Structure 1
Amino acid sequence: MKNSYLRCGAIWLFASLGILPPTAGAQVVTTSPAIITADTKNIVITFHADWGNRGMAGLPASTAVYAHTGLITSQSATPDDWTFAPTWPDNSAKYKLKAEGSGTWTLDIPDIRQYYGVPAGVEIKNMVFVFRDAAGSDSQGKTINGGDISLTVFPSGFPAPDMRQYPDGDPQPGATPSSDGSSAIFCFPAPEKNMVQLVGSWNDFAIVPDQQMHYTDIDGIRYFWTSVDGLEAGKDYTYYYIVDGQTAVGDPYARLVLDGNNDKYISSAVYPDMPVFPSEKVSSSVPVAVYNSDAGKYDWQTASFTRPSQESLVLYEVLIRDFTGTEGKANGNGTISGLIDRLDYIKELGVNGIELMPIMEFDGNNSWGYNPNFYFAPDKAYGTPDDYRRLVDECHARGLAVVLDVVFNQTAGLHPWYLMYPMVLSKFYNGTSPHAYSVLNDWNQNNELVQRQFKDVLRYWLTEYKVDGFRFDLVKGLGDNDSYGNTYNEATNTWGTPSGPGTDAYNTSRIARMVTLHAAVRDVDPTAYFINEDLAGAEEENALASDGDLNWANINNSACQFAMGYEENSSLSRFFSPSDGGRMRGSTVSYAESHDEERMAYKQMKYGANGVKNNYAMRMRRLGSVAAQMLMTPGPHMIWQFQEFGANQTTKNTDGSNNTNPKLVVWNNLNNANNAGLCQTYRDLLALRDANPELFGNESSATILLNGWAEGRSILLSYADKKLLLAVNPLVDKSIDIFIPSEAGDASSLRLLAASHNTSPAIANGSIALEPGAFAVYGSEDVSSAIDEIPSDYDSAYPIIYYNLQGRQIAAPVPGQIVIRRQGTAAYKVIY
């Protein structure tokens, strides 16, 4: 992230001579000559105060600027261990820079050994710098991530890169193995760069002329590439790149990334036999890529999978970190294996897909994942690459689709293209964002390589991990200026103050960009889901829907209002997309909760109306009625993990921002009968959707009346001879009778299909009698019920409910009566 501290720089030399590789960082200085050796004389270091962290940007030329400088040598204990450095702050004349104007200062170093006082026999590897004022204040010139500036000291006679045609067609970024795995071509896009060195474990990280990469220029883009022979198929190799002698970076197309600062905290139980970060050879701040010719091989058990139709899709949003782990604790130690162990629960709940919050390599091990660095690499904090594949495989075996949440508006601070360029000169990132919702480092969406990367990422996860689609975070940030109405300053690579209304307005560039990305997905898989978190106006979202996209629809505020017992702003008609500003039917994935929104149960507990706040059973009942209004509405929907049994830990900070800290693992909530009853409500409702897909598709007739209060609410669905009626009592303290419309058919023929936990709805005189806060679902004779479900693991927590053979709930059976006995999702015909 932007404010994280990271030691940065670059180091080149022969590992065979004991030379340690560089640390990561962006260019802050230029040198004359460009290549420096230990024998180079009359070196000029030019410090660009507007580059890097800009800690000394804007200072007048009269400011005395000094270099705190030392060396990485053969006497250094680590790649970051300075030697031959003065005590801070030393204002000797030799450390003072000369002002050159335009925010630049120069430092002359006539002879490295004499300047630093290095005796003969000590090998010089890197020159390292921090620029400061005379007082040594906190205003310092460092790398873009706040680390030390490092310059490689090359071996004598190191060659300049040569231009050479890329073999076998167009350049393919990343590492491409030969057919037998004995060699690989490494390709790295680096526009406007002069040289790139590949450094890898196959020769013990030696910096050798053979791995000075060739370059080829195609359509204005420079690609560096080289081939490595003598590799062993199926073996792990680690590598990184050194750019222009100053910046050590990972591979943006790496399939797996090692992190020297965070991998040590991942247990062997989570990632057995994890490749070891080469800490004796590489600075811990350099993300190291892992290459293995067999990385994509996996023995898939589910040969084919038919995805649920878009209109029937009900997703379960999962943050792996908090879904499993230590019960009752907020340790953030959930894993893929733990999620797989809970897939039967998710299947039995009745959803038909899971949506994983971002799992692509992110900063640290504890995160929501919206701070990615490497898009092709799964984050190791949750498990191995094959664990991710096994998760998809196990989901498909259970009929569950898998959707990935992807973040294409921003990255954290370790993406190679972020580190390689001073922000003022970057063509990959905006120095400031043109839109109003930026958090981290904002991609320049107009950059050709950025868009190619995104398309390649989508194709990769579809083919290599067999995921079923994507949810795109913050689509409002993926446009060009267009509706943003902002002004770009090319000299500083910054935008003016962004406009919220301009960001929210109809933006043709966003539509065009998503259409292009969707085309890339269709090239691989025409049926893959393509879901936008656009949250824009109906005009824009309908344009996206016309291309086959789904769009998130946030109904949280109204759902919370209903759940708390307040009439104001409690309409839930927006669960039905045509009632949401005229959006196309079946085009929205509507939800009452998501990772971004507050828990309904928390707001009930904190702010609920009289009769709700201090009545736990009523709180759970009203949550069930929210679920009924959502799930009985046709079209796709989403459930946020633990919503189905009323999790009530707040997800917000006091200022309203998201609290991304780990949350309690609360499976024990199911031991409470009211929470278990709520969970059963979700099961019943979802089972009805699954058993009667035609009622919830785009071709059914739907009358959605979810605006009322004192008079109640209802949904009437019909398809052919099937009719389904939902009735809801929104009141907190009063039972009401809800009229059965004639379109629902003869009231005497309607069967009870689902109802609020521990309630007894009844039909009399053409109306449905409902207790406060309760719902009931009735259907015609040919509506399939959810009676014959798979028994639940949690049956002991559920009460026993009896129904007659017409599906009407009864108080208790009498001797000789044939009834349906139901506990949890287990249902049996019983003769008493």
Structure 2
Amino acid sequence: MKKVYLLQFFLLFFCAAKAQLLGTTPQFARETDNIIITMDANFGNKALLNYANTGDVYVHVGVITNLSTGPADWKHVPFEWSSNTAQNKASYLGNNKYSFTINNIRSFFNVTGTEYIQNIALLFRSGNGNTVQRNSNGGDMYIKLYGGDSLVVGLTQPYMQPYFVPIPETISKTVGETIAISGAANKPSTLNLYINDNLVQTAAAATVITANPVLNVAGNTRLKLEAVNGTDVRSQEITFMVNNAANIAPLPAGVRDGINYNPNNTEVTLVLYAPNKGRVCVIGEFAGSNWQENTAFQMNKTPDGNYWWKTITGLTPGTEYAFQYLVDGTLKVGEPYAEKILDPWNDQYISAATYPNLKAYPAGQTGIVSILQTAAPAYTWTIPNFSRPDKRSLMVYELLVRDFIATHNWQTLKDTLDYLKRIGINAIEIMPFNEFDGNESWGYNPAYFFAPDKYYGTKNSLKQFIDVCHSKGMAVVMDIALNHSTGSNPLAALYWNSATNETAADNPWFNVTARHPFNVFHDFNHEAAPTKYFTKRVIEHWLKEYKIDGYRYDLSKGFTQTYSIGNEALMAQYDASRVAIWKDYYNAQQAAATGTYAILEHFADNQEEKELSDYGMMFWGNSNHAFTEASMGWLDQSNFSWGLHTTRGWANPNLVTYMESHDEERVVYKNINFGNASGNYNIRDTATALKRSQLAAAFFLSMPGPKLIWQFGELGYDYSINYCENGTVNNDCRTNKKPIRWDYLQQARRYNIYKLYQKMGTLRFSTAYQHVFAAQNTQIEHGLDGAFKWMRLRSASDTSCLLVVGNFGLSTVTQQVNFPVTGNWFSYLDSTFISITATAQNVTLAPGEYIVYLNRNLLNINTNPVDPEEPEEPEEPVANEVLASVFPNPSAGKQAYIKINLPASGRVQASIFDGSGRPLGTIYDGTLARGVHNLPVNTRYTNAMKGLYWIKVVAGSATKTIKLVL
């Protein structure tokens, strides 16, 4: 009889091995048994599927014992991960199956004493360890061991996944179908099979049992195998869903993809585009669902088989409900159009200050879940109809919220707007803030395109930030990456090839492999109708729901199906199909919100950019290389005239030129580390490096057309784009966090850069010159080769002319330049006058020196960084004396500053008191260098209330008290 039992076990194992990830002989192995483990790479994560022709496969194995702290605590691991020996090599059986034999399990793992084995833990891997066969969830695989001679029973079909707590493989059944069931026991017993407590098969004195019953009832179904041996009764149960055939019904009128809210605030209709799927069920926190597949929440299928929809009723207005789609009984995905998601991995690190009362992730669930909420709290706009700045005159400030303010939230970001407004900024371009993978990111790893990332704050705090921007005349431009998405995106996950870890060939939205060499993650196919629909919905959403003023489209050159892998030049060539795609998207954007900006990061053939510019689109104009070469004093490649739209032959000034961006190295960093030198003039000296950045900025800000400034460029930010948090510089740290240096504003030599930006911003928006910088019939002439560079602007009537000259060389240069007209000219930056009697004039400039000449007297325009009444202090304060004053005073609603002139470096404390002497707070407490500093008085201490206040300044042993009137 013993041989018969072994034969029965072998046959059962052999059948199971053909259709499950792991199988063992014997099925119920004990510590002292020999065991044969068979792995089928057609199951699990399928990492080693079709790997046999690539190389050998090895086993990484250990045990979970009574001394292990949990499933991850492997004990007695006999082979290192990198060990490739005959002892841990798996045998290939053909058809993607491998086997590994362990003789006497306890001896193999050298387990001694009272320690005993509970599970074998194992993985199968490639020789280099880069490809690893695991469970379908990416976890380790386990084989349970059995002790003693007790009765053991187990199902052999449906097949079990080898998790630490085994669960069945997906069971997809509908009413009327049969289900194959088999089970086994290690001793002859009475074996019984039940479905929902109804006996369907029994076998007396048996070690195996089989059945193939018809499933007649829809709903959650319980399958039970029971073994009875005298008084010893053992059983195993699993549950699965039996579905009715999908109900076929057309979409209700007026709905579209995503979450459709009913006006009664108690119902939503969910619509999912998912062609060729067998069944879809809504699971979540709805009454009667409890995250289980349920016939009551099974979605209807449209007659064409493309859409699934379900109306959920009985919702409580204002309540947030978490939910997912369960597709074909196995795949859980979020709602692609969800405006809020919950992330089990990253939400825990979001502070309550940034996102108050964030809903907890539902216990016991896995993966990202979507949120729907009827009657969600509304935001009331104070500026419902914002008049956007002329795109020809945009001064754009690009920032990454994470690296701009330490709190990384919208609430704090709005407090910086006055600082930006003072340098002429009229548009804020924010790096991607739709939901991306992780928290601390540049945002170019998008996952959910309709949801603002919670790491920056709530939906309504974002709206308030945009509203405040608009109240100050500032547009908001959203940087968005629609070229690609991560695998967390439901559109990618819905049609996924787990064997290759990429989107599947039948994915309606994505290419399997990218069509161009710059792609990251998974490449959208923008010629596919589903992708076009989705993209236009994304474009519409942020314009209408959040009233943003336009987009900066990341990697817009990648919106093509023209194959250019390995050929960057081909990707940049004129592409008629790409032009058609962008004209279509631009039309959709203007239909959603007329006059909004479309700024493309294109870098393609000039003919293509010119055609799209003529159509109304704008383009990033990367002038980083030429400007940094000029600033560093390396002149061979320092001609930055390509930053002028006229040089490119464009009719419209739709070129958003920049010296720095998130993608480019910082000007001052390059000056300090790679600057040129001659004699005593060394650009790598920090003071010189900072002054050279002013020289570059004077030309940059004199160029007509829209401009872009990268965060803190106006303060001479000098940390590399590749700066690591440990202080080193490495390409791998490009997207790492960077130091936030608001304290630079308190350093005189950096504040001078800010003052230059402010003066040039004032000039650009003055009534006398605004039309010149908007390139409205402006004549632009230049000589931007060599050390001595010049650029000349003149209005059509010659009433407003500008000439900027600068010496980018390393020694004094004299050169003749032609002024546009004769007469009195104004040296704008130092407020001096010269009389030009002949247009040709010799100009002598020291290295790094620059002059901005105007033919209009702008002394009546406030060009001071704070206030024309800023008081002057002696150049050399006396030792043990602190020279301090407050300006403007009275402030008359303007920003107030403390001006301090220090005789020596040291600690400075500045405190504010109300009129009665009650302390309100500390304005500054830190170390300042010798010289002049301007410290802003934060109005949060005064609540902006008019009245008398006192400022106390302590520097070393000196103290000064100043009266401030608000």
- TM-based fold match above 0.5: yes
Q: Measure, in 2, the Cα distance between the counterparts of 1:349 and 1:296.
A: 36
Equivalence for 1:688: 763
RMSD: 4.1
Equivalence for 2:931: none
Q: Tell me, yes or no, if structure 1 residue 787 matches structure 2 residue 862.
A: yes
CA 1:718–1:471 in structure 2 vs 1: closer, same or farther (change >3 Å)?
Answer: same
Native 8 Å contact 2:43 2:136 kept in 1: no
2:735 to 653, 660, 668: 660
Q: Measure, in 2, the Cα distance between the counterparts of 1:303 and 1:613.
A: 49
Shift of 1:334: 2.2
Native 8 Å contact 1:724 1:783 kept in 2: no
Equivalence for 1:132: 124
Native 8 Å contact 2:809 2:847 kept in 1: yes
Native 8 Å contact 1:645 1:676 kept in 2: yes
Equivalence for 2:51: 58
Native 8 Å contact 1:190 1:223 kept in 2: yes
2:334 to 250, 262, 267: 250
Q: Measure, in 2, the Cα distance between the counterparts of 1:472 and 1:130.
A: 46
Equivalence for 2:306: 222
Q: Tell me, yes or no, if structure 1 residue 425 matches structure 2 residue 540.
A: no
Q: Measure, in 2, the Cα distance between the counterparts of 1:797 and 1:411.
A: 56
Shift of 1:416: 1.2
The residue type equivalent to 2:546 in the other structure is Y
1:788-803 to 2 correspondences below 5 Å: 791=866
Q: Measure, in 1, the Cα distance between the counterparts of 2:873 and 2:623.
A: 29
Shift of 1:725: 1.7
1:813-828 to 2 correspondences below 5 Å: none
Q: Flag the structure with more relative contact order, 1 or 2, with Cα contacts below 8 A and sequence separation at least 6.
A: 1
CA 1:448–1:163 in structure 2 vs 1: closer, same or farther (change >3 Å)?
Answer: farther
SS of the equivalent of 1:158 reads strand
Equivalence for 1:553: 621
Shift of 1:506: 1.4
Q: Measure, in 2, the Cα distance between the counterparts of 1:50 and 1:754.
A: 72
Shift of 1:98: 10
Higher mean alpha-carbon deviation, 444-453 vs 315-324, is at: 444-453
Residues 103-151 of structure 1: CA distance to partner in whole angstroms, max 9, x if unpaired? 5899xxxxxxxxxxxxxxxxxxxxxx99737999764334798457884
1:501 to 569, 574, 577: 569
Native 8 Å contact 1:133 1:139 kept in 2: yes
Equivalence for 1:275: 359
The residue type equivalent to 1:368 in the other structure is W
Equivalence for 1:208: 294
The residue type equivalent to 1:430 in the other structure is N
SS of the equivalent of 1:413 reads coil
Shift of 1:717: 2.4
1:231-310 to 2 correspondences below 5 Å: 231-278=315-362, 280-283=363-366, 286-295=367-376, 297-310=378-391
Q: Measure, in 1, the Cα distance between the counterparts of 2:460 and 2:246.
A: 39
Native 8 Å contact 1:176 1:185 kept in 2: yes
The residue type equivalent to 1:132 in the other structure is F
Q: Tell me, yes or no, if structure 1 residue 754 matches structure 2 residue 845.
A: no
Task: Structure 2 unaligned segments of length 5 or more: list them.
Answer: 1-16, 21-37, 64-69, 80-89, 100-120, 141-160, 162-166, 173-219, 222-240, 724-728, 876-896, 900-933, 937-966
Q: Measure, in 1, the Cα distance between the counterparts of 2:852 and 2:405.
A: 33
Shift of 1:347: 1.2
Residues 181-214 of structure 1: CA distance to partner in whole angstroms, max 9, x if unpaired? 1100011111221111111212243432111111
Native 8 Å contact 1:252 1:416 kept in 2: yes
Task: Structure 1 unaligned segments of length 5 or more: list them.
Answer: 1-28, 33-44, 71-79, 90-95, 107-128, 326-332, 486-496, 801-821, 827-832
Equivalence for 2:471: 397
SS of the equivalent of 2:422 reads helix
Residues 635-657 of structure 1: CA distance to partner in whole angstroms, max 9, x if unpaired? 11100000111100000276757
Native 8 Å contact 2:667 2:718 kept in 1: yes
Q: Tell me, yes or no, if structure 1 residue 597 matches structure 2 residue 664.
A: yes
SS of the equivalent of 2:754 reads helix
Equivalence for 1:39: none
1:642 to 708, 712, 723: 712
CA 1:338–1:195 in structure 2 vs 1: closer, same or farther (change >3 Å)?
Answer: same
Report the number of matched residues.
701
Native 8 Å contact 2:828 2:854 kept in 1: yes
Equivalence for 2:410: 336
SS of the equivalent of 2:319 reads coil
The residue type equivalent to 1:662 in the other structure is K
The residue type equivalent to 1:646 in the other structure is G
Q: Measure, in 1, the Cα distance between the counterparts of 2:747 and 2:303.
A: 65
SS of the equivalent of 1:393 reads helix
1:323 to 399, 404, 414: 404
The residue type equivalent to 1:451 in the other structure is K
| Larger CA Rg, structure 1 vs 2 | 2
Equivalence for 1:698: 775
Residues 431-465 of structure 1: CA distance to partner in whole angstroms, max 9, x if unpaired? 32120112222223333222211110110000000
CA 1:629–1:135 in structure 2 vs 1: closer, same or farther (change >3 Å)?
Answer: closer
Equivalence for 1:776: 851
SS of the equivalent of 1:338 reads helix
Native 8 Å contact 1:161 1:213 kept in 2: no
The residue type equivalent to 2:332 in the other structure is A
Q: Measure, in 2, the Cα distance between the counterparts of 1:30 and 1:319.
A: 53
Residues 468-496 of structure 1: CA distance to partner in whole angstroms, max 9, x if unpaired? 00011111211112xx35xxxxxxxxxxx
Shift of 1:397: 0.4
The residue type equivalent to 1:378 in the other structure is P
Q: Measure, in 1, the Cα distance between the counterparts of 2:493 and 2:247.
A: 24
1:544 to 612, 622, 628: 612
Q: Measure, in 2, the Cα distance between the counterparts of 1:352 and 1:375.
A: 26
Native 8 Å contact 1:213 1:224 kept in 2: yes
Residues 155-197 of structure 1: CA distance to partner in whole angstroms, max 9, x if unpaired? 2262235243344336512111100211000111112211111
Q: Measure, in 1, the Cα distance between the counterparts of 2:325 and 2:869.
A: 53
SS of the equivalent of 2:412 reads helix
Shift of 1:58: 2.6
Native 8 Å contact 1:31 1:46 kept in 2: no
Equivalence for 1:374: 448
Q: Measure, in 1, the Cα distance between the counterparts of 2:793 and 2:696.
A: 16
Native 8 Å contact 2:45 2:134 kept in 1: yes
CA 1:310–1:365 in structure 2 vs 1: closer, same or farther (change >3 Å)?
Answer: same
Higher mean alpha-carbon deviation, 359-368 vs 245-254, is at: 245-254
CA 1:634–1:51 in structure 2 vs 1: closer, same or farther (change >3 Å)?
Answer: farther
The residue type equivalent to 1:181 in the other structure is N
Native 8 Å contact 2:803 2:819 kept in 1: no
CA 1:626–1:790 in structure 2 vs 1: closer, same or farther (change >3 Å)?
Answer: closer
Shift of 1:533: 0.3
Q: Measure, in 1, the Cα distance between the counterparts of 2:873 and 2:606.
A: 42
Equivalence for 1:624: 694
CA 1:143–1:318 in structure 2 vs 1: closer, same or farther (change >3 Å)?
Answer: farther
Equivalence for 2:115: none
Shift of 1:296: 7.2
Residues 393-440 of structure 1: CA distance to partner in whole angstroms, max 9, x if unpaired? 010000000000110111122111222221443423333212011222
Higher mean alpha-carbon deviation, 600-609 vs 585-594, is at: 585-594
1:419-568 to 2 correspondences below 5 Å: 419-420=493-494, 421-422=496-497, 423=502, 424-427=504-507, 428-481=509-562, 484=563, 497-568=565-636
Q: Measure, in 2, the Cα distance between the counterparts of 1:316 and 1:393.
A: 17
Provide the identity percentage. 27
Higher mean alpha-carbon deviation, 588-597 vs 434-443, is at: 434-443
Length-normalised TM-score, structure 1: 0.76
Native 8 Å contact 2:45 2:136 kept in 1: yes
The residue type equivalent to 1:668 in the other structure is D
